[in-house]
Amino acid sequence: MYGNAYVENTGNNNSLTAGEDPVKLAEFEARIAAGEKIEPQDWMPKEYRRQLIRMIEQHAHSEIIGSLPEGTWITRAPGFRRKLALMAKVQDEVGHAQLLYSACETLGKSREDMINDLINGKSKYSNIFNYPAVTWADSAVIAWLVDAGAIINQLTNSKGSYGPYCRALDRICAEESFHLKYGHDNVVFLATGTPKQREMVQEAMNRWWAPLMHFFGPSDKISQHTETLMKWKVKMASNDDMRQQFLDMYVPKIWDLGLTVPDHNLKKNEESGKWEYTEPDWEEFKRVINGDGPCNKERLAVRRMAEEKGRWVRNAILKKDARYVAPLA
């Protein structure tokens, strides 16, 4: 599950290629334009490597942290079948993190460094996981709509230029489709159930709408220039385009169940074919991503505890002659 990379302010587009060999750069860009994949051993601009490391690493962290809000309900899932399915989904998310960490390592950042940057708060992860899953219905809405958003983002990114990332995403997308179906089944079950169940799922929808609108990242109007990153196929679609795609695919399905969305301005403009909505509160988004959300502290503390309490196991089986080699592809 993943939203969108929070592209750092890198100044103007020229500074991304400053100091690069113009001949190699031209060859590199020609290969990408021709649809070729870049492999770890290939020459690449420093900024291409840096942006990809940040993006894949954020993606990996999001998978790990993303399993926490859903994991909240494993112990109290309503029934054995739901519990088994939720455990399988959470296991998938953790597995996705493993694939993504491996893909990121091919660019030269070690796994230990990535984990350290996560637990020390230096690296970001998808902001949506800083919100709590208050009831079982929240976990249903997460599995359906957060995963729906993630699939839009991941399918888009899987057409990018970096080979190991694309291959990891292909495997991940194949598994996400189970998550989406499972989540939809859960939401439909509640929405077509008793008045209490309907109320629960509507309340969860109300709680998750704002984080879902934030999910694809800041509006293109306030987002930095990403022209070069688009040309390098690091970033494949604009935040607003992905948000539009999400609204187009899922708002009708939400309304179909007789549920509402807490935004009175939300409607499709039939002339432009675009959805109109209240601009999400980007100040809130910034505040939460910088640490001041309802669950930021808990998420990182749980992660630190896992590393801390797992250390003796890792040490116990660590062989003395082990040495680190970055993966090949």
Partner 1 sequence: MIIKSLDPRITRAGIDDESKDGTQQPLDQWHTYEVFQQKKRGTHHVHVGSLHAPDAELAILFAKEQYARRGQCVNLWVVKTADVFATEYEDEDIFATTPEKKYREPEVYKVMDRIQAFKAKQNS
Instruction: Mark the segment that binds partner 1 (CB under 8 A) among 107-115, 142-150, 226-234, 241-249.
Output: 107-115
For CA atoms 157, 159, 160, 164, give the dihedral sign.
Answer: positive
Residue of 247, 53, 215 whose CA lies nearest to 126: 215
Is residue 23 close enough to count as binding partner 1 by CB under 8 A?
Answer: no
β-pair partners for 267? 276
How would DSSP label each residue in 146-171?
IHHHHHHHHHHHTTSSBHHHHHHHHH
Rounded Cα distance between 46 and 17, Å, is: 8
Closest approach of Cβ 23 to partner 1, in Å?
A: 14
Among residues 16, 85, 133, 254, which is the contact residue for partner 1, using CB under 8 A?
133
Alpha helices in 106-146 (DSSP H): 111-119, 136-141
Is residue 305 close enough to count as binding partner 1 by CB under 8 A?
Answer: yes
Closest approach of Cβ 104 to partner 1, in Å?
A: 11
- Tell me the number of residues near partner 1 by CB under 8 A: 59
**Residue 49 or 225: which CB sits closer to partner 1?**
49
Among residues 132, 189, 225, 260, which is the contact residue for partner 1, using CB under 8 A?
132
**Residue 221 or 320: which CB sits closer to partner 1?**
320
**Residue 111 or 253: which CB sits closer to partner 1?**
111
Looking from the CA of 184 toward its CB, the CA atoms found within 13 Å total 14
Closest approach of Cβ 69 to partner 1, in Å?
A: 9
Is residue 21 close enough to count as binding partner 1 by CB under 8 A?
Answer: no
CA angle 306, 329, 124 (to 5 degrees): 40
Closest approach of Cβ 24 to partner 1, in Å?
A: 11
Rounded Cα distance between 255 and 45, Å, is: 46
Among residues 167, 225, 231, 268, which is the contact residue for partner 1, using CB under 8 A?
167
Residue 194 to residues 28, 183, 229, Cα–Cα distance (Å): 59, 18, 49
Closest approach of Cβ 305 to partner 1, in Å?
A: 5
Site pattern 63..92 for partner 1 (x: CB under 8 A): -----x--xx-xxx--------------xx
Rounded Cα distance between 228 and 234, Å, is: 9
**Helix H or strand E encompassing 186:** helix 163-191
Rounded Cα distance between 224 and 295, Å, is: 28
For residue 64, what are its two tokens?
């790990």
Site pattern 175..204 for partner 1 (x: CB under 8 A): x--x--------------------------
Among residues 42, 199, 256, 281, which is the contact residue for partner 1, using CB under 8 A?
42
Closest approach of Cβ 225 to partner 1, in Å?
A: 31
DSSP character for 3?
-
Q: Which residues contact partner 1 (rule: CB under 8 A)?
A: 39, 41-42, 68, 71-72, 74-76, 91-92, 95, 98-99, 102-103, 105-106, 110-113, 115-116, 119-120, 132-134, 164, 167-168, 171, 174-175, 178, 297-298, 301-308, 311, 314, 317-319, 322-329
